[in-house]
């Protein structure tokens, strides 16, 4: 057992867990933003819960390459009613995919169980906002900003650079009183990385785990899958599952995906085989 507390619930992170993606942006690239309305968001949440998701990740800011920034008020209006409605209706951990201090505060108040920040709490006040809760936080690495991050990203050694960055954010978290037992690390697949960078990071997933942190991987339907297979976004499920299976075998235990049931079933087999001696 390796229990981590997510607000009012806990997960055993010796087992794999699926985090279902719930985009509440009008421009979400792979689901066309069809879950913009509260009703549709609740239906999609219920589907993912029935399919075995352990966490629903609610995001109101598109961070796809080239996406335009969203105002704080817009993000609050999109995300908070959805979090509140899911917590009222279902017995599930809700994660909030945000970098915005006000959203972190309000989401925590409404019962969110995880703060998922693609900017690793770099925005003003974000560290403090998380420190004022008891929630875990996923620190993701991104090089640059979404508008321009895919324009010739460059590293000395991508694995070392990403590791060093995340460890520097761990130090900042500890400085404000966020214990390292609350931290989850994510190499940030597709965030300021070439295909080769993404593949190297996945190949070395175990290095992040060996630093003593739980690892979350988000690669569902991303460009790297399309680049390897030469397939459009709606045909990337099998590739996504292969890459996530690899990450599982290298120690990742949290998987942020669009397609919940296929991953729950794949990971159930991966996990059973690993545990049978």
Does position 189 bind ligand 7PJ by CB under 6 A? yes
> Would you give the DSSP letter of residue 69?
P
Nearest to 82 by CA among 107, 99, 48: 107
Two tokens, residue 186: 């994510």
Element spanning 165, H or E: helix 158-175
Nearer to ligand 7PJ, 144 or 269 (CB): 144
Token pair 């997960």 in the structure block, residue:
11
Q: What is the β-pairing status of strands 3-6 and 9-12?
A: antiparallel
The number of residues that bind ligand 7PJ (CB under 6 A) is: 14
Which range, of 159-167, 174-182, 184-192, 198-206, touches ligand 7PJ by CB under 6 A?
Answer: 184-192
Q: Which of 169, 193, 222, 253 is catalytic?
A: 222
In the annotation, is 88 catalytic?
Answer: no
Answer yes or no whether residue 182 interacts with ligand 7PJ by CB under 6 A. Answer: no
The Cα–Cα gap between 83 and 93 comes to 10
Among 80, 118, 126, 264, binds ligand 7PJ (CB under 6 A): 118
CB of 62 vs ligand 7PJ, minimal distance in Å: 7
Retrieve residue 209's tokens.
């785990």
* Cβ nearer to ligand 7PJ, comparing 163 with 189: 189
Give the interface segment with ligand 7PJ, choosing from 39-47, 69-77, 163-171, 185-193 (CB under 6 A).
185-193
Handedness of CA 14, 267, 233, 96 (dihedral sign): negative
For the bound state, the minimum distance from the C-beta of residue 78 to ligand 7PJ, rounded and expressed in Å, comes to: 14
CB 130 within 8 A of CB 158: no
Q: Which residue has the tokens 């996923």?
A: 138
C-alpha–C-alpha distance, residues 200 and 268, integer Å: 26
Please identify the residue of the shown chain whose CB is closest to the bound ligand 7PJ. 218
Nearer to ligand 7PJ, 127 or 273 (CB): 127
Residue 192 engages ligand 7PJ in binding (rule: CB under 6 A): no
| Secondary-structure percent of the chain, ordered helix, strand, coil, rounded to 5 | 45, 15, 40
Measured from the CB of residue 233, what is the shortest distance to ligand 7PJ in angstroms?
9
Please, are residues 1 and 12 in contact by the beta-carbon 8 Å criterion? yes
Least Å from the CB of residue 28 to ligand 7PJ? 8
Contact 173, 127 (CB under 8 A): yes
CB of residue 64 vs ligand 7PJ: minimum separation in angstroms? 6
Q: Shortest gap between Cβ of 254 and ligand 7PJ (angstroms)?
A: 9
**What's the gap between Cα 237 and its chain centre?**
17
Q: Are 238 and 221 in contact (CB under 8 A)?
A: no
By the rule CB under 6 A, 97 interacts with ligand 7PJ? yes
CA dist., res. 215 & res. 207, Å (int): 10
Segment 201-260, which members bind ligand 7PJ (CB under 6 A)?
216, 218, 222, 256
Using CB under 6 A as the binding rule, whether residue 113 contacts ligand 7PJ is answered as no
158 lies in the site for ligand 7PJ, by CB under 6 A:
no
Catalytic positions are 222, 256
Positions that interact with ligand 7PJ (CB under 6 A): 63-64, 97, 116, 118, 138, 140, 186, 188-189, 216, 218, 222, 256
């Amino acid at each position: 057992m390796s229990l981590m507390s997510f607000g009012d619930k806990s997960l055993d992170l010796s087992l794999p867990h699926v985090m279902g993606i719930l985009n509440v942006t009008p421009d979400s690239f792979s689901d066309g933003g069809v879950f913009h309305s509260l009703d549709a968001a609740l239906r999609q949440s219920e589907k993912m819960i029935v399919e075995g998701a352990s966490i629903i990740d609610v995001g109101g800011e598109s961070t796809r390459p080239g996406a335009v920034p969203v105002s704080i008020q817009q993000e609050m209006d999109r995300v908070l009613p959805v979090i509140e409605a899911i917590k009222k209706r279902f017995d599930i951990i809700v994660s909030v995919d945000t970098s915005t201090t006000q959203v972190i505060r309000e989401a925590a108040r409404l019962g969110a169980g995880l703060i998922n920040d693609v900017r690793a709490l770099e925005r003003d006040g974000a560290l403090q906002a998380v420190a004022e809760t008891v929630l875990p936080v996923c620190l993701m690495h991104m090089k640059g900003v979404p508008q321009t991050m895919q324009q010739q990203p460059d590293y000395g050694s991508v694995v070392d650079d990403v590791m060093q960055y995340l460890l520097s954010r761990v130090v900042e978290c500890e400085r404000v009183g966020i214990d390292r037992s609350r931290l989850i690390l994510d190499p940030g697949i597709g965030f300021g990385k070439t295909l080769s960078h993404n593949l190297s990071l996945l190949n070395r997933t175990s290095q992040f785990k060996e630093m003593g942190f739980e690892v979350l991987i988000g690669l569902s339907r991303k460009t790297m899958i399309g680049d390897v297979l030469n397939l459009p976004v709606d045909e990337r499920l099998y590739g996504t599952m292969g890459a996530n299976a690899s990450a599982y075998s290298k120690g990742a235990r949290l998987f942020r995906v669009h397609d919940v049931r296929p991953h729950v079933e794949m990971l159930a087999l991966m996990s059973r085989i690993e545990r049978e001696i």
